A and B are shown apart, each in its own frame.
Chain A
Amino acid sequence: MIDKNLYLDRNKTVIFGIFENPDSFLETVGKVHSKGVDIIDCYTPFPIHGIEKAMGLKRSLLPIGAFISGSLGFIGAGSLQYYTMTYDWPIIIGNKPSFGVSFVPVWFEGTILFTAFGLALLFFIRNKMLHGKMPSERVDMRQTDDRMVVAIASDNPAINKSELTDMLFNGGAVEVKERTNHGYEDFTDVNLTRNN
């Protein structure tokens, strides 16, 4: 069953290979990718170690975002303390300088707070995640349970459709289906059966 609100590139027809065994899934994805076939995406119920390499995914740039938001926190916490305690209304306690070591803890906490929140926010933005949003791609309702799905464009220069289907079946796919493009609403869902 394909959910109604697919959002993968609507101008492409997509082949989905549905697997039950993560090891053979990983192996097949790697094989398909090494043939030069572009893999649109995979859907798995749990993080499969090594799949990002098998798919040829680049490392996420989120750490840079975390660094930037952390730096903002560092500047923010520092300037808050500087403004309130050193510039605006210095309080002298125990003959301590009005800008000193006692700012370290809050400075640290502010940096951590901004890093964590900034990172989480960037993560949600990057994945286009929002509370209440309908899941965009549910090829199989069990893809969050025990099925793994690989999505591949069917008009691939590197491989023809039947070869690809064979490859998926031989790799251990329990089901292979194709979503053809007939506009947003009226797509069709074709179950491809084994032909060998």
Chain B
Amino acid sequence: MIHDSAIRTQLVTGEKTLHDVTTEICRPIENKPSTSWKVGFVLSVIFLGILGLTLAITTLFGIGTWGLNKTVQWGWDITNFVFWVGIGHAGTLISAILLLFRQKWRMSINRSAEAMTIFAVMCAAVFPLFHMGRLWVGMYWVLPLPNAFGSLWGNFHSPLLWDVFAITTYFSVSLVFWYLGLIPDIATVRDRATTAGRKFWYNFFSMGWTGSVRTWNRYEVVSLILAGISTPLVLSVHTIVSMDFATSVVPGWHTTIFPPYFVAGAIFSGFGMVLTLLVIVRKVMNYQDYITIGHLEAMCKVVMLTGTMVGLAYITEFFVAAYSGVVYEQYAFINRATGPYWWAYWSMMTCNLIAPQVFWFKWARTTPWFIFMLSIVVNVGMWFERFVIIVTSLHREYLPSGWVMYSPTIIEIGIFVGTFGLFFTCFFLFSKFLPVINMSEVKSILKNRE
């Protein structure tokens, strides 16, 4: 028997009935898209075009177009890869970890956060996939396929190969989790469908869902187990991403705190992006009753917590470098803070450690436009974090002959900008064709259920 204390804030406001939830959340699917949706979608597709163009150039002319004759090499691309993968983590955190902790406020945001996860991982995958050049040849390097190069297999001792397995597992498990959660809602849309197209497609994807309690019972068991295994999975993914760096002996990279620190950073950046999206979604799609100020406040608290954890990791790293007595380690950190890339370092510190501290104040946590601004700050800060880690460590490595200043090529910039096109195109399609809020879960937390 569930019992909610009277002092808890209502998770869904506006005295919704079950039917209200269905109609309001199915509205965008059943009606013609609004002008703002069309404009946003067209813009995203234009950016997606940039991605297509730059990737075509990369494939045609080779990865020399990425300016790899510098010692920092794929600095820009790995930065973007880690940035996108990190963003993905919030979705799984919300749907899996908050499910395990029974945080009910997750229910109206988990669908969109998980969608964001999947799209973000897709954007991330662009960089390592295309850095292999002609990727149809590169596949032999990453997948254990029998091949014509002797019995040479992919190298399982290599963190890069771990990453391939981690990211693919993460992507596919997230997709399964997301799809399972969608099935009951797709069935709802199916049963309300008026056009032949909707009837066919939503029927196709609903897999014959009827809402049988026997199915629901298994469904909940499956959700719980999937949440249980997604939790170590989401930790492992960014852990392995961090090991791409930390297993090497580059000063500033080889530090044992990297795994939990990257995970905390990933959750932090992911929540930043979730806030960016949801502040807009709730406004544009008129979902203020589902994604309430209370939801935003809870997410702001998570941002503050993880931001402080990341800050603690920065300070730990800095302290231990000073404490270590290793001159290379010490130099790497001094160089970060005072070297030629000092601006990146201090942007990172300001955006990630200092800025989220404003969320100690209730006003900051409950004012949507302010939250939106701050979420952008967080996104920028987390991009800078990866930039700082990667570029400042590589541009002053052991060999002074390799000391350079780094700048990306126009193609690289195009790809990064293009990934935003990919991300938002997917997100716009998602918001048009699928219920943005998990109807069946939200229905289970309504107070007023007549």
Contact = CB atoms under 8 A, between A and B. Distances in A.
A/B contact in complex, CB under 8 angstroms: yes
Interface in A108-140: 108-110, 112-113, 115-117, 119-120, 123-124, 126-138
Contact of A131 (B173, B177, B204, B444): B204
Pick the most buried of B151, B165, B184: most chain A CB atoms within 10 A of its CB.
B165
B184 A144 contact: yes
Contacts of A80: 144
Given A91-B155, A116-B173, A129 B213 contact: no
B213 A57 contact: yes
A86 B154 CA distance: 12
B191 A41 contact: no
Contact of A45 (B162, B183, B188): B188
B9 interface: no
B127 to A, nearest CB: 20
A119 B226 contact: yes
Interface in B341-377: none
B324 interface: no
B36 interface: no
Contacts of B29: none
B211 A144 contact: yes
Contact of B18 (A45, A59, A89): A45
Contacts of A129: 183, 207-209, 215
Nearest to A102: B157
Interface string A2-33: 00000000000000000011110000000000
A60 B221 contact: yes
Contacts of B209: 129, 135, 144
Interface string B225-249: 1100110110010011001000000
A36 interface: no
A117 B174 CA distance: 11
B180 interface: yes
Contacts of A41: 212-214
Contacts of A128: 208
Given A105-B162, A116-B226, A145-B18, A126 B157 contact: no
Pick the most buried of A49, A112, A142, A145: most chain B CB atoms within 10 A of its CB.
A145
A130 to B, nearest CB: 6
Nearest to A138: B210
B29 to A, nearest CB: 14
18 contacts: A44-B213, A46-B184, A49-B2, A49-B444, A51-B213, A55-B213, A84-B156, A89-B152, A105-B239, A110-B165, A117-B172, A120-B226, A127-B214, A127-B218, A130-B207, A137-B212, A144-B191, A146-B19
Given A84-B154, A146-B17, 18 more contacts: A41-B212, A46-B441, A47-B220, A60-B217, A60-B218, A63-B221, A85-B156, A108-B232, A110-B169, A115-B229, A117-B172, A123-B219, A126-B218, A127-B214, A127-B215, A133-B207, A136-B208, A144-B187
